Amino acid sequence: MLRTRTSMVWMLVALIVEAPSLGLVGQSAYAAPPGEIEKSYITPGAVVAVTAYPHRVLTSPEAALYPVEILSAAGKQEFGIDPLDVAQVLAIIEAPVEGPPGFGVVFRLNKPIQLDTLKVPPSLPVVAIELDGRKYLQSENPMTPSFFMPDDQTLIVATDAFLKKMLTNQKNPVEGPLSKLVARANDPSDVVVVAVLEPVRPMLVAAIAPAPLPPPLQGVKRLPELIDAAKVNLSITKTPGASLMLLASTEEDAEELDALLQNLLDTGRDLALNQILNEIKGDDPIELASARYAERMTRHMFDIFRPQRNGRVLHVSYENEGSAQVATIGVLVALLLPAVQAAREAARRMSSSNNLKQITLAMHNHHEVYKKLPAPASFDENGKPLLSWRVHLLPFLDQRELYDQFHLNEPWDSQHNKTLIGSIPSVYRNPSGVAPPPMANYLLPRGAGSIFEGKDGPSFRQITDGLSNTLLVLEVNDDASVIWTKPGDLSFNAENPLAGLGTSHPGGFNAALADGSVHFIPATIDAAMFLRMLMMSDGEPTGF
């Protein structure tokens, strides 16, 4: 049940902005056709009316695959009414004036029932009294619904005050802006939503005004000022499809509204396309083809919803028939592709995390054997760097055969050792990276106060801030990666300790602590905190 003005406002916004022409021309026919709900239940102050035909939809060939049996059983068990016996539903919302908004629903049934057969939930306490000579289940709470049947095939569920207002208007009809539009529309669609904005325009404007929208979407705040009424049609039977019509106050407003909606669609399309492009990692042919398909279908989807303007009316329609059904499936697939790409990236990130765990485990095994961590590089007698720690860690990564092929007394770029550059183990590469295969993405942090400040690897006892508080290996950006055999790591400085980090994955990068645990560090981490995590003995352990 709607309880506040704010909820009423946002419901109207949803109806106007999100739902899928206005039949505004014709004679007012206030009396309902035989067997239909009388439009006179729509009060003069009503702002939204929703009409639906459950029996028609649920018994149609188009609903053959719907869980109709479940709906039928649930309706009878929970409410005492079979949804298949509901011929028509009319839901009405009235604008709040001094109190909460009025809300009521009228059900037209295919066969007579007694009010006593209705199953009222225990959470809605009611008392049985009489109204107009018929039994009336009056709510004990003015905010919860009462139940009344003016005849054996019509059930009204509404708050007490609004229910009585609906009955009064049904007996002595007074047309309002909404009831006139509903009567003139005379629409055969399975679901029809009609809304008028004039009575609630000040509330809509006030509700949207403070919304923190980005500059490209600021135009949304103009919508309530430009639209007088809206109508949504949804057809499930016969020719499935949907349509939306917006009625502007003037032709000038309609022209501005058209331009605004076109701009919003362009913005939405561009945001969607940028998201698709941002999800692309590497040059995998399937991923690139998926991105091209997603881009094509995204453009098609946004083109479908381009409004057409005729005078004061803007119209969008979509028929889901034949090739359109194929297009719909294509659009749905395109919408799922970003999720698929995100799942693939999540898998790559996990794989990268596992790489770091293998590397740190190998370092721990190295420490177990040599009582210290590996040195950042090996050096000749003149102090010239020869080979990276990544080469010397190979025996602890089950890569002894590759390790034995290196000439350990020669530099990484010697004639012989250069032939092994292309043999980089996959454990040294970030699966999300796009750097060429010889490049390694896992580097040691090197700088004043870090574990690998000097030429030699320290022992664990020298890391006085604690193994679980000190960074050991970092996953660097592709542009900071190095040839895996080359002595070279990530040198940092206190002014910008995050240089070379932060884009390995969307939102951040992986890093391994000296205790062997791996964590995902957001790119937005405070630089001062990150710097303390690089220090091994500064007396300011951060904890993770």
Helix H, strand E, coil C: the string for 59-115 is CCHHHCCCCHHHHHHHHHHHHCCCHHHEEEEEEEEECCCCCCCEEEEEEEECCCCCH
Residue whose tokens read 């206030």:
30
Strand (E) positions, 124-271? Answer: 126-131, 134-139, 145-151, 154-159, 191-196, 227-235, 241-248
3-class state of residue 327 by DSSP: helix
With CA atoms as reference, report the closest residue to 88 among 155, 148, 27, 30.
155
Q: Going residue by residue through the chain (544 aa), what tens digit of pLDDT does each one get?
A: 333 333 333 333 333 333 333 344 333 333 444 567 888 999 999 999 999 999 999 999 888 888 999 999 998 998 999 999 999 999 999 988 766 778 999 999 999 999 988 998 888 889 999 998 999 999 988 889 999 999 999 999 999 999 999 999 999 999 999 988 888 776 678 999 999 998 888 888 888 888 888 887 888 888 989 999 999 988 888 777 888 999 998 999 999 999 999 988 888 888 888 877 776 666 677 777 877 887 888 888 888 888 999 999 999 887 665 445 545 555 555 556 667 777 778 888 999 999 999 999 999 999 999 999 999 999 999 999 999 999 999 999 999 999 999 999 999 999 999 999 999 999 999 998 989 889 999 999 999 999 999 899 999 999 999 999 999 999 999 999 999 999 999 999 989 999 999 999 989 999 999 999 999 999 999 999 999 999 998 888 776 6
- Measured distance CA(299)–CA(303) in Å, rounded: 6
- Collect contacts of 384-389 with beta carbons under 8 A, ≥24 apart: 384/411, 385/411, 385/487, 386/410, 386/411, 386/412, 386/487, 387/411, 387/412, 387/417, 387/485, 387/487, 388/412, 388/482, 388/484, 388/485, 388/486, 388/487, 388/488, 389/444, 389/457
pTM of the model: 0.58
Among 421, 419, 418, 417, which Cα is nearest to 438's?
A: 421
525 contacts: CB under 8 Å, gap ≥ 6: 498, 508
Question: Which residues, in sequence order, are CB contacts of 271 under 8 Å at separation 6+?
Answer: none
Hey, what are 503's tokens? Answer: 């884009």
Parse the chain into domains and list their residue ranges. Answer: 351-534
